[in-house]
Amino acid sequence: MPFIPVPGSEVFSSRIRSREQIQNSVGDSVSLHHAKPDDVEQLDALSYEVIRHRLWAITDLMGQALKRMSGSLVVTDCNDFDVAIADEFGDIVQVGPYNTELAASVDLAIKWILENRADNPGIYEGDMFLCNDPWVGGGLHQNDVAVLAPFFHDGKLFAWTAAVAHQADLGGVSPGSWTPRAEDVFWESLPTPPVKIVENSRIRRDVEDVYLRRSRVPKMVALDLRAKVGANTVGQERIRELIGKYGADVVKAAMAKQLDDAESRLRAKLEKIEDGTWSATCYQEQSMKDDRNVHKIVCTLTKAGSDLLFDFTGTGPQSGMINTTFSGMYGGILAGVLPGLCGDIPWATGGLRRCISIKSEEGTLNNATFPAAVGKGSVASAWATMNAVTECISKMVDTSIELKREVQSVCCGTWQLCVMAGLDQRQQPFATMLTDSMGGGFGAGVDHDGVDTGGLLLIPMGKMPDVEMNEFVLPMLYLWRREETDSGGPGRFRGGVTASLCFVPHDTPVPMMQVISGAGKTVSQNVGLAGGYPGSSQVDIAVRSSNIEELFSKGIIPSSLEEVDGDLQILACEDEALLSPGDLHYMSWQSGGGYGDPLLRDPKSVAYDVAELRVSPESARNIYGVVLQEPGFEVDADATEQLRSEMRQIRRSRAQKAGV
């Protein structure tokens, strides 16, 4: 009797497989096109640079193709997707500049396909595989759906292309496919290990039907499937053209060299830093509805020579629905490494990964075992992993005179989720999530402030949705969306400020179902560095049975919650609720952490921030120790010097009492 894999067995585990393991697994089932060492060595510099940039351009074209074909606001307006090109073994040669955390684990899924699908059902030209199993890879939770396409040349497997995007809903007990009530994965969307969705260049209708049947918005999910198939098709057409111009062996040599080049350049950078160990702990509160505990992810980074070891020993046990699998931890590491260490290095993660080792205990928050609930994993423990990794890397880089300008305080500490579902203004069912928190504040550096509402560290090309587009597609009306004073983490250099929004249901006859999910409401996740303060916390507030219709009838559009009457409710980190007509929903997301002691900030910079509404006069005095004269917010230099001296003396007195 043939062996049938049992869910949770080693067959479905995410792990980094070596090229030798892949070759042994594939055997004679698939013929692989390898780079020849002599071709790599003899590749001229000009051809290499041209081909390398062409591969980057191909990922850009793939991303544009996916966006143009998708009908989801998550993709079209927020860039919550990514694409990649990998070699025959699945090692990523070029990752796209969109959601790097998504694409980072694509290699795990490709290697799994090579190991488990080469013999049955086989891997052939014209095939594509769909995967949303976070224990396999290709995404961080079930809503991340990857389409992975082998590329053949002259009958040999030459490369892979991949497209992965977040889907608005793939089933489960709550809209959006994750629920704060989840006790295990069976409350959530069904994880699907790689299955052949395209065969002989045609979508398999039977497999597509199985895939779409689970969704509350099947038409949107079907369109996104075609968008990912189209993105892979565009990528493979361009690779074929590249081979036609330069020859298969030359292109293959350039791909191999790009992996080697990324590794050697990262190692050269690491050699400039003294060996050492740095640690960070990122906390999350409330792992599920009604949970009152705090859950930690511990990261210890050890740098020895040109090797990095990320050790997560001490991380808390898996709990509730905030867990992520090994692929989420892996994605969180690379999402921190790419911007933190590789801003001037090609993002060939298959080469960069050679410098990295990982130590982790199974059954923990960022290495959860089946059947843990992982629906929120991408923006919970995977994101928290990235925060801890970012903090460790910045502490490490801060020790190098040559590299310390690359220091980056932690940016927006997590994603603020608000899933909504109901009937839209056209009386059609809808399910979506608000993605405005794409505009988080960036963390400060050693010589500059963080960018205000600059985005998210893991999505270099992320963007906030257009307010009018949201109002056109969804039954909602914005009262405001604006940057918030005092939200950026104070420091010698200030963290970027963040924003808030407030909306009401509009032109819908029934209440909206909401899933509210986001940590960082009581525990800082956006810590500062070198004495810098954390950025703002996250807030969700509902105003029930408000008088908004009365205000509208008088021509009044409120600009603060104080102007609205109603029952104000501060919402928990993880909750499900109804938003009825006449209710308001307010949300403000996290900003970036500061760098350095706020008392060292240039008083003129503080005065400028006050004039620009980034900092309040009260915070200028109480946090930065700057005395301003009105009108005009001119700095009183003598009073400022005296106040700062008094504040430092208070600190010393407190330290003495504490025995520090």
Note the pLDDT tens digit of each residue in 311-328: 999 999 999 999 999 999
Q: Which two tokens stand for residue 69?
A: 């074909």
Indicate the residue type of 161.
T
Crossing angle of helices 381-397 and 326-341, rounded to 10°: 30
240 inside domain: yes
Residues 6+ apart with CB under 8 A from 281: 296, 297, 298, 299, 388
| Domain co-membership, 61 together with 192 | yes
What stretches of 177-217 show up as alpha helix (H) in DSSP? 205-212
Q: Which two tokens stand for residue 410?
A: 């932690």
Looking at residue 7, its pLDDT comes to 47
| Domain co-membership, 37 together with 178 | yes
Spatial separation of the C-alpha atoms in residues 261 and 125, rounded to whole Å: 30
User: What's 122's DSSP letter?
Assistant: I
Spatial separation of the C-alpha atoms in residues 126 and 277, rounded to whole Å: 48
Q: Give how far Cα 44 sits from Cα of 266, 347, 364, Å.
A: 22, 21, 47
Spatial separation of the C-alpha atoms in residues 272 and 288, rounded to whole Å: 44
| Domain co-membership, 543 together with 642 | no
550 inside domain: yes
486: alpha, beta or left? (left if phi > 0; alpha if psi -120 to 50)? left
Virtual torsion, Cα 353, 358, 363, 369, nearest 10 deg? 20
How many angstroms from the chain centroid is the CA of residue 174?
22
| Domain co-membership, 503 together with 564 | yes
Spatial separation of the C-alpha atoms in residues 518 and 380, rounded to whole Å: 8
- Consecutive 10-residue runs of the chain (660 residues): their mean pLDDT? 45 74 89 94 96 96 95 87 96 91 88 94 97 93 96 97 95 89 93 97 97 94 97 98 97 97 97 97 94 96 98 97 95 94 93 96 95 93 96 96 93 90 90 90 96 90 90 95 97 97 94 91 93 96 96 96 96 93 96 97 97 97 96 93 97 87
Residue 463, phi then psi, degrees to nearest 5: -155, 155
Last residue of some domain: 239, 266, 293?
Answer: 266
Q: Give how far Cα 204 sits from Cα of 116, 190, 207, 338, 458, Å.
A: 20, 19, 6, 36, 33
The β-bridge relationship of strands 92-95 and 81-87 is: antiparallel
Whether residue 371 has a cis bond before it, omega within 30° of 0: yes
| Domain co-membership, 234 together with 262 | yes
Give which of 80, 31, 139, 151 is closest to 434, Cα–Cα: 80
Look up the pTM and report it. 0.94
Q: Give how far Cα 165 sits from Cα of 76, 80, 83, 101, 141, Å.
A: 11, 6, 9, 11, 11
Last residue of some domain: 554, 569, 598?
Answer: 598
**The total number of structural domains that make up the chain:** 3
Looking at residue 11, its pLDDT comes to 64
User: What's 589's DSSP letter?
Assistant: -
| Domain co-membership, 120 together with 227 | yes
* Burial category of 130 from C-beta neighbours within 10 Å (exposed 0-12, middle 13-18, buried 19 and up): buried
335 inside domain: no
Residue ranges making up the domain that contains 220 = 33-266
15 inside domain: no
613 inside domain: yes
| Domain co-membership, 512 together with 641 | no
Q: Residue 359's CB: how many other CB atoms inside 10 A?
A: 11
330 inside domain: no
Looking at residue 230, its pLDDT comes to 98
| Domain co-membership, 54 together with 198 | yes
| Domain co-membership, 500 together with 562 | yes
Beta bridge partners of 16: none
Looking at residue 10, its pLDDT comes to 59
**DSSP sequence for 134-158:** TTTSSSSSTTEEEEEEEEEETTEEE
Looking at residue 13, its pLDDT comes to 65
251 inside domain: yes
Spatial separation of the C-alpha atoms in residues 172 and 420, rounded to whole Å: 14
| Domain co-membership, 579 together with 609 | no
| Domain co-membership, 101 together with 118 | yes
CB 365, CB 319: distance < 8 Å: yes
| Domain co-membership, 523 together with 556 | yes
Spatial separation of the C-alpha atoms in residues 415 and 516, rounded to whole Å: 11
437 inside domain: yes
Last residue of some domain: 241, 266, 291?
Answer: 266
What stretches of 151-247 show up as alpha helix (H) in DSSP? 205-212, 218-246
Spatial separation of the C-alpha atoms in residues 200 and 579, rounded to whole Å: 47
